[in-house]
Structure 1
Amino acid sequence: MLLTIDKTSHEPLYQQIYRQIVAGIATRALRPADPLPTVRALAGDLGINMHTVHKAYTLLKADGYITMRSRAGAAVAEPDPGDDTERDAPARRMLEELHALALAYRARGRAMSEFLDDAAAQAAQAYASTTGPTTRLAKAQ
């Protein structure tokens, strides 16, 4: 999978990395046990600070998406059907954000149907993403 960052975006770089790796897992471009580049290698490929990559990896580990072991590196975590507590945390945050967005639509006088149509279109786009073989994470040209 190709990981890209936009240094001009208002979204912090670590969040861009986090979001794209989660999307890779969701679309199965990254599968359980797939290795991820080392912090040093990914930072070098992207031309960013190692601490930025480490922050993204730390959050991914905390949310249960990856495992990190010294010497073995980072890899996509195996889903644990018995304990979804860690993996549910991002979904809970997303629902809180969705609620805030719904309130913002309402505050601007927009109809609930308009909000739902927009949200459904975004969800359909996310679920329609094509899956493909896993390729190395690399800097976009």
Structure 2
Amino acid sequence: MPPLRRLRSCFFDDGPHSEIREGDLANMRRKYAIHPSVGMRSPTDFKRAPDGGAGEVVVYEAYLEPGFRGVIPSLIGEVSSFFGFCPSQLTPLTWRTLMAIQILGKLHGFSFGVHEILYSYYFAPLMNKPKFYHL
């Protein structure tokens, strides 16, 4: 089976430009007690939050306010990278489903990736909330 192509169409909108600037990062680091070893940067004027580079994860400040400080599970990161959107654009139920698949796969010795997920599921935009996706 040939590998699936990455979808780069107008179907996935990147969302608004970031309003966070370089000076705001120090305040955020203090406010949310982010460890100094965690690299932080704000996008330039022409970039959007999902335009992170290799090895970067975009996290919206709205996720930090209720206490999110965790690590992005590898399957969620892989799926997000494949489609070109942020992990925070996935619904909580989608996060739970993907995490359950990853954990059960590890327990039973199976490796699940994007192609295995897309064999059984597809991602669709939420009707009532633009720029968010669910399985």
TM-score tier after normalising by the smaller chain length: under 0.3
> What TM-score, normalized to structure 2?
0.28
| Structure number with higher relative contact order (C-alpha < 8 Å, ≥ 6 residues apart) | 1
Larger Rg: 1
